[in-house]
C-alpha cells in the first residue's frame, strides 16, 4: 500500500513541497486553540477568546480565494511569502499588545487571518507540474488529505507543548515564525518559482464562473457542516461520559479514521469518473454518521467515531480531482482555495447550528445533524449530476514557452475516466 506514496515522495521536490506546505500551514491549523489559550492567559473571557478566534476564521475564509487569485495572476513567490510575513507580523502585534485595547486585538487577528497564504491550494496547483503522471497526481491529492489529518492532530499538541514549556504568547510567536519558514521553503523551490498559471480569460467571477465547481462547493458546504456539528455533539456526549478526556479520544478517533481511510483510498488507482465516485463516498459518509446516534459507552463510541471519519479524507481527495477538472483555465489555485473556504465556512455553520440543537434535544439530536448534512450534500451532488458530468476543460499540456524552455506552466490532464 505504501509503494505508491513512496514513489511520489522519491520524486524530486515532492517531499520538500509537502513538508514545507504542512509546516507553513501550522499557524492556520493552530490559530483557534492558540488564540483561546493566549486570551485566557491574559485574563480575558471565553466569550472574547471565541470571538477573536471566530474573527480570525472569517478573515481567513475571505482571504484564501482572494490571495489564490493573486497567485494565479502573479505567481507563488510574489504572493505566498509576503502574505506569510504579513500574517505572522499581525499575529506578533496581537501577541505583544494583548487583548487591551480590544479593537487592536480584533484588527490584528483579522489581518493575520486575511493574509494567511493559500499554501494548500498552491501545493495542489504544483503537483501536476512536479509529478506529471495523472495517476500520481491523484495519489498525491489523497496523500495531501491524509497529511492534513496528521497536521490537525499534531498542531494542537505543539501549541500545548509550547505553552507548557514557555507561555501562550511564545506559542503564538514560535508557531508563526515556523510558518514563515515553511512558506519560504516552498516558494524558493524550483517548481514554485517556475510555476505559472495557464492563460486565463479575464472575468470578475474568476473560478466561480464554472457551474461544475459551484455544484461541488455547494455539496462541500454541507460536508463542512457535518464535520463542524460532530465536534459540538461530541462535547455534549463527553460531558455525560467522562469529560474532556473522552472528548479528546473521540476527536482523535475521528482523525485516525480519516487518516486510515485516506491512506487506503490513495494506495490504489480508481476506475470511473471521480464525480460518480464522490457521490458514493459522500453517501457512505452520511451513512456512517448514523450509528453515532446510538451513543454507546466511550470505547464503542470511539470506534463509531473512527468509522464516521473513514470516508472523509477520500471524499476530500476525490473533490480535489474534480476541482482540477472543472476549474476554468488559469484559476486552479483560486479554485482550490474556494474549496478550502467553503469547507471552513460549512464547519463554522455546523458548529453554530449544533449548539442550539444540543441545548434543545441533547447529544442524540446533535449527532443527527452530521448525518442529515451528509444527506443534503449527497442530494446536491445527485441534483447537479448533469452539471458535474459535463466534459472538463480541454487539456493544457505542460510545455515550454518559446522564450523560456524551463518555465513550468499549470498542467491539465484530459477528462478521461481514469481517476
Question: End-to-end distance of the chain based on CA atoms, in angstroms?
Answer: 17
How confident is residue 396, by pLDDT bands cut at 50, 70 and 90? very low
Closest CA to 367 of 224, 235, 220, 221: 235
State yes or no: pLDDT of 398 exceeds 70.
no
pTM beyond 0.85: no
Helix (H) or strand (E) holding 255: helix 244-266
Write out pLDDT tens, residues 5-22: 788 888 889 999 999 999
pLDDT interval class at 416 (50, 70, 90): very low
Report the run of H or E that residue 408 belongs to, with start and end. Answer: strand 408-409
Instruction: Find out whether the peptide bond into 101 is cis, omega within 30 degrees of 0.
Output: yes
Cα 216 to Cα 134: distance, rounded to the nearest angstrom: 21
Q: Which CATH superfamily is domain 204-419 in?
A: MFS general substrate transporter like domains (1.20.1250.20)
Of the candidates 212, 27, 22, the one whose C-alpha atom is nearest the C-alpha of residue 123 is 22
Looking at the chain, the whole-number percentage of residues with pLDDT higher than 90 is 36
Rounded average pLDDT over 198-215: 75
Domain with CATH 1.20.1250.20 in the chain: 1-197, 204-419
Is 131 within 8 Å of 5 (Cβ atoms)? no
The per-residue DSSP string of 190-252 comes to: HHHHHEEPPP----TTGGGG-HHHHHHHHHHHHHHHHHHHHHHHHHHHHHTTTTHHHHHHHHH
Determine the Cα–Cα distance for residues 55 and 106; give it in Å rounded to an integer: 7
Closest Cα to residue 331, out of 73, 60, 61, 64? 73
What per-residue confidence (pLDDT) applies to 333? Answer: 81
Please, which residues bridge with residue 408 across strands?
195
130 Cβ neighbours under 8 A, 6+ residues apart: 11, 12, 13, 14, 17, 191
For 225-237, what is the mean pLDDT?
84
**Span 259-282, average pLDDT:** 86
d(CA 359, CA 366): 9
What CATH number labels 1-197?
1.20.1250.20
Residue range 75-116, pLDDT digits in tens: 999 999 999 999 999 999 999 999 989 999 999 999 999 999
Q: CA–CA separation, 201 vs 196, rounded Å?
A: 15
Task: State the pLDDT at residue 6.
Answer: 83
User: How high is the pLDDT of residue 403?
Assistant: 40
- Contact in structure between 358 and 366 (CB atoms under 8 Å): yes
Q: Are 183 and 119 in contact (CB under 8 A)?
A: yes
Distance in angstroms (rounded) separating the CA atoms of residues 178 and 310: 30
Tell me the per-residue pLDDT of 18-75, one tens digit each, with 9 for 90 and over: 999 999 998 988 887 788 788 888 888 867 887 888 788 889 888 988 998 899 889 9
Amino acid at each position: 500500500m505504501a509503494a505508491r506514496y513512496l514513489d511520489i515522495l522519491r520524486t524530486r521536490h515532492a517531499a520538500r513541497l509537502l513538508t514545507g506546505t504542512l509546516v507553513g500551514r501550522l499557524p492556520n491549523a493552530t490559530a483557534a486553540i492558540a488564540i483561546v489559550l493566549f486570551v485566557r492567559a491574559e485574563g480575558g473571557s471565553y466569550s472574547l477568546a471565541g470571538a477573536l478566534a471566530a474573527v480570525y476564521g472569517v478573515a481567513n475564509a475571505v482571504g484564501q480565494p482572494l490571495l489564490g487569485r493573486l497567485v494565479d495572476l502573479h505567481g507563488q513567490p510574489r504572493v505566498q511569502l509576503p502574505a506569510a510575513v504579513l500574517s505572522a507580523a499581525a499575529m506578533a502585534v496581537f501577541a505583544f499588545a494583548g487583548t487591551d485595547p480590544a479593537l487592536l486585538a480584533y484588527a490584528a487577528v483579522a489581518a493575520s487571518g486575511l493574509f494567511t497564504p493559500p499554501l494548500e491550494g498552491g501545493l495542489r496547483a504544483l503537483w501536476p507540474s512536479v509529478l506529471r503522471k495523472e495517476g500520481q497526481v491523484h495519489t498525491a491529492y489523497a496523500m495531501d488529505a491524509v497529511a492534513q489529518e496528521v497536521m490537525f492532530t499534531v498542531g494542537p499538541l505543539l501549541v500545548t507543548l509550547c505553552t507548557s514549556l514557555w507561555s501562550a504568547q511564545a506559542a503564538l510567536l514560535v508557531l508563526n515564525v515556523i510558518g514563515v519558514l515553511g512558506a519560504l521553503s516552498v516558494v524558493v523551490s524550483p517548481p514554485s518559482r517556475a510555476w505559472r498559471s495557464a492563460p486565463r480569460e479575464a472575468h470578475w467571477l474568476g473560478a466561480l464562473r464554472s457551474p461544475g465547481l459551484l455544484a461541488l462547493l455547494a455539496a462541500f458546504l454541507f460536508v463542512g457542516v457535518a464535520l463542524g456539528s460532530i465536534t459540538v455533539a461530541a462535547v455534549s456526549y463527553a460531558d455525560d461520559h467522562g469529560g474532556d478526556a473522552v472528548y479528546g479520544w473521540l476527536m482523535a478517533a475521528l482523525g485516525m479514521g480519516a487518516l486510515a481511510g485516506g491512506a487506503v483510498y490513495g494506495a490504489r488507482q480508481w476506475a470511473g469518473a471521480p464525480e460518480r465516485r464522490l457521490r458514493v463516498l459522500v453517501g457512505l459518509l452520511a451513512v456512517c454518521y448514523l450509528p453515532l446516534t446510538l451513543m454507546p459507552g466511550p470505547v464503542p463510541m470511539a470506534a463509531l467515531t473512527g468509522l464516521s471519519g473513514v470516508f472523509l479524507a477520500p471524499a476530500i481527495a476525490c473533490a480535489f480531482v474534480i476541482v482540477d477538472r472543472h476549474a476554468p483555465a488559469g484559476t486552479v489555485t483560486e479554485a482550490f482555495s474556494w474549496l478550502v473556504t467553503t469547507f471552513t465556512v460549512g464547519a463554522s455553520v455546523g458548529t453554530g447550528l449544533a449548539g442550539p440543537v444540543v441545548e434543545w434535544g441533547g447529544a442524540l439530536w446533535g449527532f443527527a445533524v452530521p448525518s442529515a448534512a451528509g444527506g443534503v450534500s449527497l442530494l446536491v451532488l445527485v441534483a447537479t449530476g448533469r452539471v458535474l458530468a459535463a466534459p472538463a476543460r480541454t487539456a493544457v499540456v505542460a510545455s515550454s514557452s518559446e522564450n523560456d524552455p524551463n518555465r513550468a506552466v499549470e498542467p491539465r490532464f484530459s477528462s478521461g475516466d481514469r481517476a
